[in-house]
Structures are given as structure tokens and as C-alpha cells.
Amino acid sequence: MTNQEIARAFDKLAFFLSMKDENEFKIGAYIKAAKSIRDYPVSIEDMLLAGEDLIRIDGIGKVLAQKVEDLVIIGSLKILDDLLAEFPDSLYEMSQIKGIGPKTILKIFDAHRIKSLDELRQFLLTGEKLAIPAPYECRIREFFKK
């Protein structure tokens, strides 16, 4: 598993925890860990295979090191799997719209059952308004004009 794949899993975890209005410190820890892993110059998987301790990586403590190890060895994280049982994985792709956060995406999902960028684009083509404040809808419409 590449550093990018590990970081993406942690980014997703932070995203879905934000949707559930989880503890901001926990979410911040996953975001920081994702950045550190993404930017780390050595393969995390190779480090684990060599028996190296991951806590030397900035933002990785014992708990997160264990989660990284689980992700690399097992191929998944229980906490992320539990969140993906609750929310469609495709909601994460909507986070690439600048200025639209997890809570706004959750409002769109709850109000309209829109689960992906493609479904969002199709909805907007109908001319209906989203059940979110107008400035956010404008950002979304601008995103699709690109």
C-alpha cells in the first residue's frame, strides 16, 4: 500500500468523522497524519516490513501507528468501514468542491439523497434548488462550469 493510499484513507476518515460531528481534535489528528504520511519520503509499508517504529513520523503516535499498521496489513480500518456502512463512499468525492465542507455535503445527502458528483450535476441540471444556503449552491454551480 502506497503512502498516498494510506493518506487518502486517513483523509476519508477525517471527512466522515466531520460529517458525524466528531471531536475536532480527533479529526485534526487524522488530517495531520494524512499530510505527514503523504509527504513522507520513505514508503510506510517498507518501514513496517523492516520493523521500524512509525511514531518517529510527525503526527503519528501509538494509536495512529497501530491504525496505519492495520490498514497496511489488513487492508482496511474498522472505524472507516463502520462509517462507510453508514455513508456512501462516493460522498467523499464531493469534498473536492472548494468551500463545501462535510456538513454541507451531509445536508445535500440528507435533503436530496445525492451521493456523488455526477448525481449532483444531474440534480442541478433539473433547475431545482439545493436545500443549502445560496452562497454554497453558487460555489457548487461554479465548480461544474469549469
Other CB atoms closer than 10 Å to residue 66's CB: what's the count? 12
Domains of the chain as residue ranges with CATH? 3-85 (1.10.150.110), 88-145 (1.10.150)
**Count of alpha carbons within 13 Å of 7, Cβ hemisphere only?**
16
The C-alpha angle with vertex 133 and arms to 129 and 135, in degrees rounded to 5, equals 95
Other CB atoms closer than 10 Å to residue 68's CB: what's the count? 26
Collapsing DSSP states into helix, strand and coil, what is residue 126?
coil
pTM of the model: 0.90
Residue-wise pLDDT tens for the chain (146 aa)? 999 999 999 999 999 999 998 999 999 999 999 999 999 999 999 999 999 999 999 999 999 999 999 999 999 999 999 999 999 999 999 999 999 999 999 999 999 999 999 999 999 999 999 999 999 999 999 999 87
